[in-house]
Amino acid sequence: MFAFIARLLAAPTVGTALAIGSLVAVTSGVVGAFVVLRGQSFAGHALGDIGTTGAAAAYLGGVPVLYGFIGVGLLGGLAIEGLGERARDRDVATGIILSLMLGIGALLLYVMTQGTNATGGPVAILFGSIFTVDPSVTVPVALFSLLALLLLAFLYRPLVYASVSPQAAKAAGVPVGAVGLLFMLAVAIAVEESALVAGALLSTALLIGPAAAAVRWSRHVGQAAALAALLGLLAVWLGIALAYQSYFWPPGHRGWPVSFFIVMLVLIEYLVARIGRRAPGRAAARREAA
Amino acid sequence: MRNLEVAARPGQPILDLHDVHVALGGRSVLQGIDVRLAPGELVGVIGPNGAGKTTLLKIILGLLRPDEGSVRIAQRDVREARGLVGYVPQSFAPDPDLPLRARDLVALGLDGSRWGFSLGGARRRAKIDEALAWVDAARFADQPVGRLSGGELQRLLVAQALISDPRIVLLDEPLANLDLRSQDEVVALVGRVAHERDVTVLLVTHDMNPILGVMDRILYLAGGKAALGSVDEVVRGDVLTDLYGHHVDVVRVHGRILVVGGADAESLTCTTCDA
Amino acid sequence: MQILGTLFPAGLFTASFMQNAWIAGTAVALLSALVGFFVVLRGAAFAAHAVPRASFAGAAGAVLAGGDTLLGLAIFSAFSAVGIASLATRRDAGQTTALVLMAALGLGSLFLALGGAYAPEVYALLFGQIVGISRPDVYAIIGLLVLALVATAFLYRPLLFSSVAPDVAEAKGVPRRRMDVLFLLLVALAATAAVPVVGALLSFSLMVGPAAAAAYFGRSPRQALGIAALIGVLSIWFSLVFAYDTGLPVGFFVAAVTAVFYGLGRLWAWLWEVERSTARAA
């Protein structure tokens, strides 16, 4: 067991993967807890897809994919948040923006496949590239993560208030619109980092999965955020270890994708939480009846 | 269970609840409820939050089965009598761009639950026009519902409930979110439903004052128990104290009634109870 | 005249693969508009986005197993539809949809990685290809359209009722959960047909864009349905022309064109709003 871990850590790409993966897991978990609280899963998912365009553009431009993801992700976050209040309308509008951006992204991805006649680039963008990512992005990822977490710390109380009772918060003078916007920027950072690790299509897993599981075991958002970060870390570390090990597995000894393992682990965490603990409301009702 | 039926009319009750017990999420919501209502009565269902008003509605609509006791509508089982009960829900807030006209909304009450799609026809259209006219909605019949005011929507929902010729109509908090003038209009409309069409109306509300003038009897729910009778008989300190299980005062000021001290030690915000 | 020549070059209507594309594309547009109408009505945009994506994993799996891709699409879209409908409660529908989608895509990434050599075929399913539609595919898609038309004809009233006023519908005996499942199965049907033509990444736009635009233009359900169908068909026709002219993937054009229609719809609604407030002020 220890020999395995030693071997794992010695492998060159794994160190970077673990570092970046850990940063991403923590950020996504914490931000995700609030996304789940605010019921903004679709927006979170949309940001992942929107980021694809930026990533593809960055790749074609020779810039590290991270900046493309985050750049376009931030713009997308602004657009989504600026769409207005009505839930249903916003969902459709989110979807249309998502489609439009993804359409352009699809175009760029297509151009990528034509250019080099290989599917490596698009695969990495869509499904994750944690083992092939340039180690120099570790520091930028750390900085972005720090930014997102600081933003969240700054927004903590007004965000909770605005999420739980927006009307009351507004009446109390909380700038609900600005809070929502800043939060969406933090989400964009978290999602796009996650896209780096697990791919644009799977970024939502790290954002929502651990948070959805954590919420069922926590009494308030702060707890949920911490627990989500831990669950995310668990999934990422175990996922990396398994992916590394899978190089020795059939078929073809090419290794199974890291994103697959991470997503499956996140889902297992969620299912365990769902089966193990009903929604918090019921527990409270049960207690009061006793 | 206090059942002061002095004011009820003789004959077969249109709604008959007998010894109904309901428990949700391990908590007893309704205990031993007995209710008998006559045709054409307008009964206000009043009580604090969590007292079981919505649960009672669900029982009558057949969406929830009581743990004990029986529910009969026009001497029939609830499932059979589904077509005899109309329902006006608590909230209906359409998108401004919802592609549905007022007459489409009302038409849903006529055949919305049947398979297939309707082929139209003069008779169907006449029925819809008639329903719209009765609630004074004819002038905006072809407007998209998203553009209508709360009061206008409420009238449409009543028309939707009435178009299938029910014997009982249940309204869940119809006056919430309405301005005073719309409230008056809806109250007058509901009064006509009961007294002109001889339809029994059960109106759930948390404030009895707007409907004092039009109510025949009141069904007060608190602490899982109920009292049914005229307002003077039921809304009294002693009766309500007995229901609530702690001291409650009734104050009358300028023709309005206030129930004081009902800071419900018993009512819980049970968010998952009516699953 | 020159412009027409470049816009409608030879072979646009006569090439055999294009004939398949025109027929299949039109059928897919009609089917997507029909289902899209209910998607917009029910605010189920996320589910409409998730099901086609999830179906992609089925296609990847089918390619890996050497089976029929259309079957793989159908199975995975049906499973994800049922999964979302049964697991989602009113409060956490978004989470559940996201997680079902992740489950499917996670498997998809595995299938793709293991598939290796067949990757290009699977990528075609991501972006949509007009070249790759065969005659049997066309028949299958028309079959799906017919199935959807029959199903919708049956479900129209109760589904409309349940979508507009779910509480009242339930009181009248329309089972809410069952309608949820049936609705999502319709979405699965539309996804299975749309993915080969428009691609898993963007078939959502053909489902939602035209219907959302139609909501701004139409006043009654039937009007909205009709307008959605019209816009959908126009969108795919424009997209096919552009895709043929440029050789770029159809999906991109569908996303762009439907977004334009949606924008027009919103603009129209906004102009009406302005007119009404000035009339009121006058």
Of C153, C165, C215, the CB nearest to B92: C165
- ipTM score for this prediction: 0.85
What predicted TM-score, i.e. pTM, was given to this entire model?
Answer: 0.86
Whether C111 maps to a domain, the answer reads: yes
In angstroms and rounded to an integer, the radius of gyration of the C-alpha atoms of chain B is 19
Q: List the structure tokens of B52.
A: 């079981």
Check whether B6 has a pLDDT greater than 60: no
Domain count, chain B: 1
Q: What's the confidence (pLDDT) of residue B273?
A: 36
Closest C-alpha among C132, C162, C256 to residue C206 = C256
Convert the pLDDT of each residue in C39-95 to its tens digit.
999 988 899 999 999 999 998 888 888 888 889 999 999 999 999 988 877 777 888
Whether C142 maps to a domain, the answer reads: yes
Domain count, chain C: 1
Of C154, C173, C269, the CB nearest to B116: C154
Element (H, E) at B204: strand B200-205
Whether B153 maps to a domain, the answer reads: yes
Closest A-chain CA to C211: A92
Given pLDDT bands bounded at 50, 70 and 90, which one contains residue B3?
very low
Q: What is the DSSP code string of B53-93?
A: HHHHHHHHHTSS--SEEEEEETTEETTGGGGGEEEE-S---
Convert the pLDDT of each residue in B207-229 to its tens digit.
899 999 899 999 999 888 899 99
| Inter-chain CB proximity A99 and C98 less than 8 Å | no
Q: Do residues A197 and A236 touch, judged by C-beta distance below 8 A?
A: yes
Q: Do residues A203 and A21 touch, judged by C-beta distance below 8 A?
A: no
CATH of the domain at A229: 1.10.3470.10
Q: Which residues on B lie below 8 Å from C155 (Cβ)?
A: 115
Whether A290 maps to a domain, the answer reads: no
Whether B274 maps to a domain, the answer reads: no
Domain count, chain A: 1
Q: Is any Cβ of chain A less than 8 angstroms from the Cβ of C256?
A: yes
Least confident among B22-31, B183-192, C70-79: B22-31
Of A44, A88, A100, the CB nearest to C43: A88
Q: Which residues on A lie below 8 Å from C45 (Cβ)?
A: 42, 91-92, 94-95
| Inter-chain CB proximity A88 and B95 less than 8 Å | yes
Whether B250 maps to a domain, the answer reads: yes
Closest B-chain CA to C272: B97
| Inter-chain CB proximity B272 and A286 less than 8 Å | no
Whether A224 maps to a domain, the answer reads: yes
Q: What's the confidence (pLDDT) of residue A252?
A: 67
> Which of A92, A97, A202, A246 is the best residue to mutate to test the C interface, defined by the most C CB atoms within 10 Å of its own CB?
A92
Distances (CA, A) of C281 to B8, B144, C271: 52, 21, 15
Q: Which residues on A lie below 8 Å from B268 (Cβ)?
A: 285, 288
Domain of C225, in residue numbers: 2-275
Q: Is any Cβ of chain B less than 8 angstroms from the Cβ of C271?
A: no
Q: What's the confidence (pLDDT) of residue B132?
A: 95
| Inter-chain CB proximity A99 and C255 less than 8 Å | yes
Longest Cα–Cα distance of chain B, Å, equals 60
Whether C282 maps to a domain, the answer reads: no
A-C contacts (CB, under 8 Å): 160
Q: Which residues on C lie below 8 Å from B85 (Cβ)?
A: 171
> Crossing angle of helices A258-276/A203-215, nearest 10°?
20
Instruction: List chain C pLDDT tens, one digit each, 282 residues.
Output: 667 777 777 777 777 888 889 999 999 999 999 999 999 999 888 999 999 999 999 988 888 888 888 899 999 999 999 999 888 777 778 888 999 999 999 998 888 888 765 667 777 788 877 777 888 889 999 999 999 999 999 999 999 999 999 989 988 889 988 999 999 999 999 999 999 889 888 889 999 999 999 999 988 999 999 999 999 999 999 999 998 888 888 888 999 999 999 999 989 888 888 887 887 776
Whether B129 maps to a domain, the answer reads: yes
CATH of the domain at B54: 3.40.50.300
Domain of A211, in residue numbers: 2-284
Instruction: List chain A pLDDT tens, one digit each, 290 residues.
Output: 777 777 777 777 888 888 899 999 999 999 999 999 888 899 899 999 899 899 999 988 888 888 999 999 999 888 888 776 555 667 888 888 888 888 898 888 888 877 655 557 777 888 887 888 888 888 999 999 999 999 999 999 899 888 888 888 888 888 888 898 999 999 999 999 999 888 888 889 999 999 999 988 888 888 999 999 999 999 999 998 888 888 777 766 677 888 899 999 999 999 998 888 765 544 443 333 33
What is the distance in angstroms between the Cα of C45 and the nearest Cα belonging to chain A?
6
* Neighbour tally for B251: CB within 10 Å: 11
Q: What's the confidence (pLDDT) of residue A284?
A: 40
CATH of the domain at C107: 1.10.3470.10
Q: Do residues B119 and C175 touch, judged by C-beta distance below 8 A?
A: no
Of A128, A208, A251, the CB nearest to C98: A208
Q: What's the confidence (pLDDT) of residue B108?
A: 92
Of A39, A88, A103, the CB nearest to C94: A39
Distances (CA, A) of A173 to A164, A167, A176, A221, C214: 15, 10, 8, 22, 38
* Residue spans of alpha helices (H) in chain A: 2-10, 12-38, 41-61, 65-81, 87-116, 120-127, 138-164, 166-171, 176-198, 203-215, 221-245, 258-276, 280-289
| Inter-chain CB proximity C119 and A251 less than 8 Å | no
How does strand B27-37 pair with strand B15-24?
antiparallel
In this predicted model, which residue has the larger pLDDT, B39 or B11?
Answer: B39
| Inter-chain CB proximity C114 and A251 less than 8 Å | yes
What is the distance in angstroms between the Cα of C254 and the nearest Cα belonging to chain A?
8
Q: How many CA atoms lie within 13 A of A69 on its CB side?
A: 30
Q: Nearest 10 degrees: CA dihedral of A285, A286, B2, B3?
A: 80
Whether A289 maps to a domain, the answer reads: no
| Inter-chain CB proximity C255 and A113 less than 8 Å | no
Domain of B100, in residue numbers: 2-260
CB contact residues (below 8 A), chain C span 72-111, against chain A: 91-92, 94-95, 97-99, 101-103, 105-107, 109-110
Whether C281 maps to a domain, the answer reads: no
Q: Do residues C109 and A262 touch, judged by C-beta distance below 8 A?
A: no
